[in-house]
Structure 1
Amino acid sequence: MRPRLALIEDDLDFALMCRSYLERQGFIVTWVMDARAGRSVLRDGAVDLAVLDLGLPDGSGLELLRALRSASRLPVIVVSGRGEEADRVAGLEIGADDYLVKPFSQRELVARIRAVLRRSQPPDEPEVLLVGVLRVDMGARQASAAGVLLTLRPKEYALLETLARSPGRVLSAELLLHQVWGASWRQPATVTEHVYRLRGKLARLPSPAPRITTVRGYGYRLDP
């Protein structure tokens, strides 16, 4: 799975440059331009790291970081034009994992992101996800239940794995589209179609099999 980043940055030119470079380096990037949208993206979850500017039009990035740290250990790299020692210390003390002062090279940003992700990754991430009787083998890219193997197309498997990583949690269709198909794919009906196919295959598994629940107006979740 490609690392998923939230880029919270209001400088249009800088953000477009960052997003383009990060996506070329293999990251999935969700870009928002203010603190309110940033809270929404971080609350929805399913991101591996946030790149957070301090100077946002509707509030301080430090306040957003403080609110995030009260509930989450999501890795955060602060990017800012504020290079004074007091600003750097404040960001790090509130809970930033790293602090980059603008201007900086895109190569350095990628190197910092990868270093923070390495530090934050659990040492023994499980190769197998278990959701009720469903077994998702990420190494083999296969799913089964009670010894019955699911025959899945690559995108169906990727969709199931994404849902199985957050069982019981609602993931929006937009988020699933972004994570499974990538930033350039803009057809939300694709998610609906693949969910429909995946439901049919899960329904043929021995009972009780997990099911994909539609939460109207929000998205989908995998229930054991």
Structure 2
Amino acid sequence: MRPHLALIDDDTDFALMCRSYLEREGFTVTWAMDARAGKAVMYHGGVDLVVLDLGLPDGSGLELLRALRATSRLPVIVVSGRGHETDRVAGLEIGADDYLVKPFSQRELVARIGAVLRRSRPPEVPAVLDVGSLRVDTAACLASGTGVALTLRPKEYALLELLARSPGRVFSAAQLLEQIWGASWQPSATVIEHVYRLRGKLARLPVPAPRITTVRGYGYRLDP
């Protein structure tokens, strides 16, 4: 997939040069000449990164960035002729991922875009989690131990997968309630009941099988 960039800049010569170079480097580029069009492009969806000029004919690029940051973590590289420290600091504090002062080379812009895109990508999570003899297939939502399948209810599976993603890490009852049930205000008895049932099912696997350990005063962890 070609990364999709939104280029928001009212300098026609600069924008055409950037778009041509970026497209040759393998990007798809949508160009907007003012804040109104830029906002439409950013919120339309499918954009991977924004290259944003600060001086726009119908508003401030910083205000556009501030509005975006209220609802989105879409990566933004500011490009501007404003090179004073106060301008750079303001852009970064509002939420720019990088700041380039004009003039700059197109090669540097491409390098900066690549670096920001790499930082913004979520870490790859393996489709299959192996914890000792336990295997959790996250794509199929199936768990087994030494070839024996576990019959799990949806919340039991979600609990097991979460623990299996970070074996040895202790999760508090509140963290488990928030991440699995989406409500940390629920009673901790909900977690206790699901842990109890899950332990019983893990205990029926051929030994040695992973176990859920209670860390008193802290929470639960999965030990291989």
How high is the TM-score relative to the length of structure 1?
0.56
The separation in 2 between residues aligned to 1:40 and 1:81, in whole angstroms, is 24
Deviations 1:47-83, CA, capped at 9 Å, x for gaps: 0000000000000000000000000000000000000
User: What's 1:30 paired with?
Assistant: 30
Q: How does 1:160-199 map to 2 (within 5 A)?
A: none
Dislocated runs of 4+, deviation >4 Å: none
User: What's 1:93 paired with?
Assistant: 93
Q: Which has the larger radius of gyration?
A: 2
- The one-letter code sitting in structure 1 at the alignment partner of 2:16 is L
- Mark the CA change 1:94 to 1:126 in structure 2 (over 3 Å): closer, same or farther: farther
Q: How does 1:83-122 map to 2 (within 5 A)?
A: 83-122=83-122
Structure 1 vs Structure 2 CA RMSD? 1.4
Alignment pair present for 1:123 and 2:123 = yes
- Mark the CA change 1:76 to 1:125 in structure 2 (over 3 Å): closer, same or farther: farther
SS in 2 for 1:72: coil
Alignment pair present for 1:42 and 2:36 = no
Aligned residues: 128
User: What's 1:58 paired with?
Assistant: 58
Deviations 1:176-202, CA, capped at 9 Å, x for gaps: xxxxxxxxxxxxxxxxxxxxxxxxxxx
- Mark the CA change 1:125 to 1:77 in structure 2 (over 3 Å): closer, same or farther: farther
The separation in 2 between residues aligned to 1:126 and 1:24, in whole angstroms, is 33
% of aligned pairs identical? 82
> Alpha-carbon deviation of 1:126?
8.0
SS in 2 for 1:71: coil
The separation in 2 between residues aligned to 1:80 and 1:57, in whole angstroms, is 14
- The one-letter code sitting in structure 1 at the alignment partner of 2:76 is V
- Mark the CA change 1:115 to 1:59 in structure 2 (over 3 Å): closer, same or farther: same
SS in 1 for 2:5: strand
SS in 1 for 2:99: strand
Alignment pair present for 1:79 and 2:113 = no
The separation in 1 between residues aligned to 2:126 and 2:3, in whole angstroms, is 17
- Mark the CA change 1:125 to 1:18 in structure 2 (over 3 Å): closer, same or farther: farther
SS in 2 for 1:36: helix
- Mark the CA change 1:54 to 1:123 in structure 2 (over 3 Å): closer, same or farther: same
- Mark the CA change 1:120 to 1:15 in structure 2 (over 3 Å): closer, same or farther: same
- The one-letter code sitting in structure 1 at the alignment partner of 2:9 is E
The separation in 2 between residues aligned to 1:21 and 1:2, in whole angstroms, is 14
SS in 2 for 1:99: strand
The separation in 2 between residues aligned to 1:60 and 1:72, in whole angstroms, is 18
SS in 1 for 2:110: helix
- Mark the CA change 1:47 to 1:85 in structure 2 (over 3 Å): closer, same or farther: same
- The one-letter code sitting in structure 1 at the alignment partner of 2:62 is L
Unaligned residue ranges in structure 1 (runs of 5+): 128-134, 136-224
The separation in 1 between residues aligned to 2:109 and 2:54, in whole angstroms, is 16
- Mark the CA change 1:46 to 1:86 in structure 2 (over 3 Å): closer, same or farther: same
- The one-letter code sitting in structure 2 at the alignment partner of 1:117 is L
The separation in 2 between residues aligned to 1:7 and 1:80, in whole angstroms, is 13
User: What's 2:2 paired with?
Assistant: 2
The separation in 1 between residues aligned to 2:118 and 2:61, in whole angstroms, is 24
SS in 2 for 1:6: strand
- The one-letter code sitting in structure 2 at the alignment partner of 1:90 is A
